[in-house]
Amino acid sequence: MPVNAVFYDGFNWLNLKSMKIFKKILLIPLVLLALSGCKNDTQKENDETTPDSQNSVENSGDLDKQGQAYIKDDGSRPTVLQVAMSSPDHTTLVAAVKAAGLENSLSNAGPLMVFAPTNEAFAALPAGTVENLLKPENKDKLAYILKHHVTPGNYDYEFLKKFKKLGQASNENISVEVIDDEVYVGGAKIIASIPAGNGIVHVVDKVILPEN
């Protein structure tokens, strides 16, 4: 074989090999660029989700405000508990409900009819009664008294006039009387009625104490 032919073939072989090496070298920055892009996307996703995650942790940090009682739904009518919580005249009742651990019970689907004593009604009790009931050791007694103010059902003011008594969540009954066209339940006068998403709140002027 002529020397020129050998040189030519060798040159072609070197060129081919060089091209392969060159292609591999070109692939390296492309691979690095692709890996860098994936890393940036992952970091971006983490950056986008981290604030929400932190907010979730921060928002769930209040252990006193967990459960369905504190789920906000702007599209729904307030529950009987939320009606009471929004009233400046029922701060004592709301404090009692929380102390008794009944928030979620008053936020279920119902229907529930709640007779809600005003702050003045609680203040009319013997001195020290409310403070004593709010103590942790009296939680069960407080819950029993509050349940005595709750009736399964949803009866408006006029419909209540048809009843002589109501069965309460305390497993006791309370009387219903109509005096001068005013409705009294358990001796307490209904002074206002507010429909709720899971029932109705009847505001009363006295605390309805169980016989026991």
Query: How far apart are alpha carbons 108 and 70 in whole angstroms?
Result: 12
Handedness of CA 126, 127, 130, 136 (dihedral sign): negative
Residue 54 dihedral angles phi and psi, to the nearest 5°: -65, -40
- Pull the structure tokens for residue 162: 């048809």
**Per-residue pLDDT reduced to its tens digit, 156-209:** 999 999 999 999 999 999 999 999 999 999 999 999 999 999 999 999 999 999
Residue showing tokens 């009319």: 124
Query: Quick check: 66 pLDDT over 90?
Result: no
Spatial distance between the Cα atoms of 120 and 149, rounded to a whole number of angstroms: 16
Per DSSP bridges, beta strands 112-117 and 199-204 are parallel
What pTM does this model have? 0.66
pLDDT at 49 over 90: no
Query: Cα-flanking dihedrals φ and ψ of residue 112, to 5°?
Result: -125, 140
pLDDT of residue 211: 83
pLDDT value of residue 212: 73
> Regarding beta strands 112-117 and 165-167, do their DSSP bridges make them parallel or antiparallel, or are they unpaired?
unpaired
- Rounded CA gap, 77 and 118, in Å? 22
Query: In this predicted model, which residue has the larger pLDDT, 109 or 7?
Result: 109
